[in-house]
Amino acid sequence: MLPAPEADEDCYAIRSHGITFAAYKNKGLVILGLTTLYGHAEGKHLTRAQELDYLRDFKKKFNLRYGFAILDGDKNDLNYTVSSIPTTFLIDRRGVVRFISIGSSDWESAALDKMIKKLIDEPADSRTW
């Protein structure tokens, strides 16, 4: 859920869910932000090392308290049909994708909050099919 380096305004979605994430962290909610190396940020060309430094600073700037993975290439974007940033996937305890959200509108945030609560409240052996 980590935005492209130049998309700081999209971090509203990340910051606005900080309270929700903190509230459910001890109930099993795990967050992993995914991004890729773009080779640039804020209009500047960056080396791999510079971009990794930029992403560390980005994480600190927005007080992101969860881990993130840096993907090498856009294979996962293609596999999961990510076409917009941010794109959020909620995966249940069994590994099933249960919710996909594209964007950071108030409606998307409310729907994400509702689904997080639903998944947290489900028993670990709950079946959805």
pLDDT at 11: 47
User: How do residues 23-62 score in pLDDT, each as one tens digit?
Assistant: 777 787 777 777 788 889 989 999 999 999 998 998 888 8
Rounded to whole angstroms, the Cα distance separating 122 from 98 reads 12
Q: Which residues contact 91 (CB under 8 A, 6 or more apart)?
A: 97, 98
pLDDT at 53: 94
Entry pTM: 0.62
Does domain 8-121 bear CATH number 3.30.450.80? no
User: How do residues 58-107 score in pLDDT, each as one tens digit?
Assistant: 888 888 777 777 877 777 677 767 777 777 888 888 888 888 887 777 88
Rounded to whole angstroms, the Cα distance separating 60 from 125 reads 36
Confidence of residue 19 (pLDDT cuts 50, 70, 90): low
Do residues 40 and 125 make contact, with C-beta atoms less than 8 angstroms apart?
no
Extents of the domains making up the chain: 8-121
